[in-house]
Amino acid sequence: MSRETIREKARDRAVRARVAVYGLFLLGGTAVGTWTSRIPAVKERLDLGDGQFSIALLGLAGGAIAGMQLIGRLVDRHGSAKIMIRAAFLQAVVLIVPAYVPSLPALTAAMFAFGLVHGMLNVSMNANAVTVERLTGKPIMSSFHAMYSVGGFAGATTGGLLAHAGLGAGPTFLIAAAVIASIAALSARWALRDTPDPVRLAPGQARPRLPRGVLFLGVLAFCCLVGEGTAADWGSVYLREDLGASAGGAAAAYAAFSIMMTAGRFAGDGLAARFGPVRLVRACGLVASAGLGVGLLVGAPLAGVLGFGAFGAGLSCIIPQVFSAAGHRDPTQAGRALARVAGLGYLGFLSGPVLIGSAAELTSLPVALVIPVVLVLFVAVAATALRAPAKPQPQPETQPRVGTLPETQPETGARALPETQTETGAWTGALPETQAETETGAWTGAETGAHSSEAAPAVTSGRTPDGLPGP
């Protein structure tokens, strides 16, 4: 097989793997968007008050956090592809159940299951996205997260249209589940099968700790998602009650936030390739904090809408880059690292609106909204945390070790592209024919995903005899 043929097959494999992950992010967003669009119907069917329904939402939140924490080690042990495909099919099933439960306890249990599966899907598909990113040799995490936003918009819009047509929540969820299962089936055919080689522990040996800096990345995720939760729950309230905007004008605050966040994520890959993740996150944090801060200072409805739009644009690229940095710290522990970071981030999304509400009671809502401004400014200042810690260079042995065989694999057993870090924190694949990064963080080089026959065996864990990524 010629080198050019190997290169073409490797490139095709990378494209298909990328499309598969796009599908998983799309269906994840679709499930959540469809559910949120039919919340009033589910609530009305069971005749639940706001306080009662909040109990079911607590079940959803608890399930999501539990799923994120439980799935990390399974991803590291069995591979992200197996987990995310199973979770995707389960997502279709658990979406249907809330429409048919007979009581509040049953709804709470159903929402716990929904959150549990969605948390598992969240971590596993992000772990697989990191693997695909490593294979392609360029930053692509932002566009994956953009597809989640697209799915959320599509699910919410379709659910709203079906509700307007008089269709109940049950049939709506059944239609959405069929779409989700179809996307999952297509993604399963092209998903990159990563076969991890976990670190084997000797009897009595402690499990290795998470890579240095992962917990701090979780803190950055927490700060960022406090802002997202605040925009979702308090943006429209601020414009309506404090600035005197109309109902339609108040709704424009979150609409502007969502649109700019989605657009920013589609642009994020190119920006990360050009500037590197550290500079990108720093700039995004400054844009977000300055945008919302100026909007609060001006105190006019139009300024509020523009401020939340800038806030969404600034936040758009932060979480994808934080997740990418966590997954690349140590390929053998990517699942655990992403579980920890995603869990802390989701905790921020849930607790942020509560924090803002409590602060607003003590002061005022405009003053309370300064909290996410400060937190995102902190993310900008701490953006250097995305730079991977320097790895010690192994010292060459001057004396042969008696009774041992030459080592051909790294001690960690990780089968993935070697990563190098520049001062900006951006990583590059070590293949000579993939894109490389300059000192400024810009990606340069020729064809993306091009692999020579000599370098191909280091691309990923699963291997076919000709050195291509295995099924």
* pLDDT tens digits for range 378-413: 999 999 999 876 665 555 554 545 444 444 444 444
Confidence at residue 394, expressed as pLDDT on a 0 to 100 scale: 56
Q: How confident is the model at residue 361 (pLDDT cuts 50, 70, 90)?
A: very high
User: What is the CATH number that goes with domain 1-195+450-471?
Assistant: 1.20.1250.20
Confidence at residue 455, expressed as pLDDT on a 0 to 100 scale: 36
- Same fold for the domain at 1-195+450-471 and the one at 211-388? yes
* pLDDT tens digits for range 174-214: 999 999 999 999 999 999 987 665 555 445 555 667 777 89
Q: Compute the mean pLDDT over every residue in the chain, rounded to the nearest whole number.
A: 83
How many Cβ atoms sit within 10 Å of the Cβ of residue 266?
Answer: 16
pLDDT at 431 over 60: no
Q: What is the DSSP letter of 429?
A: E
Q: Which residue has the higher pLDDT, 56 or 460?
A: 56
Q: How confident is the model at residue 463 (pLDDT cuts 50, 70, 90)?
A: very low
pLDDT at 439 over 50: no
Q: Which residues contact 237 (CB under 8 A, 6 or more apart)?
A: 250, 365
Confidence at residue 262, expressed as pLDDT on a 0 to 100 scale: 95
Q: At what angle do helices 141-164 and 169-190 cross, to 10 degrees?
A: 150
Which among 38, 28, 266, 263 has a CA at the least distance from the CA of 158?
38
User: What is the CATH number that goes with domain 211-388?
Assistant: 1.20.1250.20
Q: What is the DSSP letter of 148?
A: H
Mean pLDDT to the nearest integer, 430-456: 38
Domain ranges of the chain: 1-195+450-471, 211-388
Confidence at residue 108, expressed as pLDDT on a 0 to 100 scale: 96
Confidence at residue 194, expressed as pLDDT on a 0 to 100 scale: 76
Confidence at residue 209, expressed as pLDDT on a 0 to 100 scale: 75
33-37, 112-116, 393-397, 441-445: range with lowest mean pLDDT: 441-445
- SS3 string of 264-314? HHHHHHHHHHHHCHHHHHHHHHHHHHHHHHHHHHHCCHHHHHHHHHHHHHH
Q: How confident is the model at residue 3 (pLDDT cuts 50, 70, 90)?
A: confident
Confidence at residue 396, expressed as pLDDT on a 0 to 100 scale: 54
